[in-house]
Structure 1
Amino acid sequence: MSLEGESAPDFTLQSTAGGETTLSDTLESGPTVVVVNRGYWCSFCAEQLQTFSEVSYDLWFHDDVDIVPVVTSELERVTEMRDRYDLDVQLLADPDGEVAEQYSGTEQTSHGLTGIAGVYVVDEEGTIQYEQVADHPADRTQGNWVRYFIRNDYEDPFGE
């Protein structure tokens, strides 16, 4: 079931910055990109998060866009992931997979419960303008593409 065109499910999760982050609060200042990741151990997730980390300041400064990565792991492990990969974005811990389940879904793997990787661009009104759910762990939308998508008024920047 696709969420594109639907209202984004609201959530509140613990952040690696300390405290909590609520989706509806981030939308008060502009669009938000929700990036659901499988877990702290996922190298494909880390690689994708690095692409969002590279564009996060530019998107925030010029377009009031927040990046909120949701990682299906405990806060301690998520903090280790942020530090290990020197990410400039704060990660949100979703240890029970409740938020992942509302977006791209969850699955049982050899690592336990994991989120299914997905990217959601949520506009200022709370409507999901873009959704990509991974068919394979390496199937990922990258940060730079999302930047162009937002700056192209939520249209594919390459006309596809």
Structure 2
Amino acid sequence: MTDQTIARQVDEFNAGFTAQIGPELSAVFDGEQADLRAAGVPDGVVAVGDEAPDAPLVTPTGSATSLADVRGDAPTVLVFYRGAWCPYCNITLRTYQQELLPALRERGVQLVAVSPQTPEAAEQSIANGELAFPVLTDPENVLAGRFGIVTAPSDAARGAHTRLGFDVADSNADDTAAIPFPSVFVIDAAGTVRFADVHVDYTTRTEVAEVLAAVDEQLAPAS
């Protein structure tokens, strides 16, 4: 157990990261995050009460599947993340593995994570967090697009990434830099979205307590 919120872990990471990369690159990422917050959540995001879209997905071993196939008839917490290259994603997925997954299993709810990265990179995500839930590839962000949450790093941020030795497009299955906003959707057994939380600022995430509160409120059997 981490015994810490994701936000606190992010704060601790940021302190070291800022010191490591220096003020110039830190200012680039701070500016990107400020712009994202100012723009807000885009129009057209799948909302509570909507039917969850479906799209083809790929397993880490390269097998074809889809969100509908993975969900089956089980209520599902669907997590969109940017990729194994994103430290905030790694913090989040590791925390979900340690603290969210056991609680969901007790409730008969499954956890599924999706990103646009290659299956090989998805394997890295699994290794980073010792993940024991499905981690799937969304080629060309088709599923993320149907959920209305596709974005991309700013040009300045991509330049900063290059100076740090990587490029998002190198990890993505379609060789573009398109990525989803980090998001959590709770989908009931009938395929209806019952909770939606989209984070345009990629340094913030849905906390475990928030997910469990939504699951308990929205998926509890009627009395």
TM tier relative to shorter chain = 0.7 to 0.9
- In the alignment, which residue of structure 2 is the partner of 1:88? 132
Provide the rounded CA distance (Å) in 2 between the counterparts of 1:148 and 1:27.
Answer: 20
Provide the rounded CA distance (Å) in 1 between the counterparts of 2:70 and 2:118.
Answer: 22
- In the alignment, which residue of structure 1 is the partner of 2:178? 113
> With structure 1 as the length reference, what TM-score do the two structures score?
0.83
Unaligned runs of 5+ in 2: 1-43, 159-167, 169-176
The one of 91, 105, 109 aligned to 1:47 = 91
Paired residues, what number? 154
Contact 1:34 1:68 in 2 (8 A): yes
| Worse overlay, 131-140 or 104-113 | 104-113
Cα separation, partners in 2 of 1:98 and 1:2, compared to 1, 3 Å: closer
The structure with more helix, counted as a fraction of residues: 2
Deviations 1:107-138 (A, max 9, x none): 23222222211111001111111111112011
Deviations 1:36-78 (A, max 9, x none): 1112211111111122212224313x22211110012111011
Contact 1:36 1:104 in 2 (8 A): no
Deviations 1:64-94 (A, max 9, x none): 2111100121110111121122222231012
- In the alignment, which residue of structure 2 is the partner of 1:158? none
Provide the rounded CA distance (Å) in 1 between the counterparts of 2:218 and 2:141.
Answer: 31
Q: Over the residues paired in the alignment, what is the CA RMSD in angstroms?
A: 2.1
Contact 2:151 2:179 in 1 (8 A): yes
**SS at 1:97 equivalent:** helix
Q: Are 2:124 and 1:59 equivalent residues in the alignment?
A: no
Cα separation, partners in 2 of 1:26 and 1:14, compared to 1, 3 Å: closer
Cα separation, partners in 2 of 1:75 and 1:28, compared to 1, 3 Å: closer
Cα offset, 1:18, TM superposition: 6.1
Provide the rounded CA distance (Å) in 1 between the counterparts of 2:56 and 2:73.
Answer: 17
Provide the rounded CA distance (Å) in 2 between the counterparts of 1:65 and 1:26.
Answer: 12
Structure number with larger C-alpha Rg: 2
